[in-house]
Amino acid sequence: MAEVIGSALTAKAAGAGARAIAERLGRPVETVRGWLRRFASRAEEIRQFFTVLLVDAGIDPAVPGPARTLFADAVNAVVGAWWSVTSRWPHVGTVSPWAVACAASGGILLAPAWPLETINTSRL
């Protein structure tokens, strides 16, 4: 499922509309719109989260330049994080950027409660 949703997000970042994406993926348009809206509503948080992962995981990370939309910036950060992860752990390269995004987000990237608030228990 991560691959299907990732394909929809990538198509939207490239400028496609929900109806065309839904038709291409064979999914209901309202389902696709839901994915796109949820991702768009937290695009900045997603961009930040995956940019940090990109920098932290990369051997020699290259942060993507700005895209034409925040949505596309967030998608680029996900793909950039995948690139960094695969540079450090080459066997990860056998999975897609969206499988890495799923793992990095605990499988809840588009869930209502993501991103989860973290608590630093090592500090008072």
Q: 85 near 100, Cβ under 8 Å?
A: yes
Is pLDDT at 13 greater than 50 in this prediction? yes
Q: Output 69-73 pairs: Cβ under 8 A, ≥24 positions apart.
A: 69/13, 70/40, 70/43, 70/44, 71/9, 71/12, 71/13, 71/39, 71/40, 71/43, 72/13, 72/14, 73/43, 73/47
Task: Please tell me the distance from the alpha carbon of residue 102 to that of residue 100, in angstroms, as a whole number.
Answer: 5
Q: Higher-confidence residue: 27 or 123?
A: 27
Q: What is the mean pLDDT of residues 78-99?
A: 89
pLDDT tens per residue, range 14-55: 999 999 999 999 999 999 999 999 999 999 999 999 999 999
Q: Average the pLDDT over each of 3-7, 27-31, 83-87, 118-122 and give the range with the smallest value.
A: 118-122
Domain ranges in the chain are: 2-104
Cα angle 72, 74, 80 (rounded to 5 degrees) comes to 100
With cut-offs at 50, 70 and 90, classify the pLDDT of residue 119.
very low
Amino acid at 107: G
Nearest by Cα to 3 from 106, 108, 99, 118? 99
With cut-offs at 50, 70 and 90, classify the pLDDT of residue 117.
low
Locate 113 and state its tokens: 């409660």
Q: 63 near 51, Cβ under 8 Å?
A: yes
Mean pLDDT over each residue of the chain, to the nearest integer? 89
pTM: 0.86
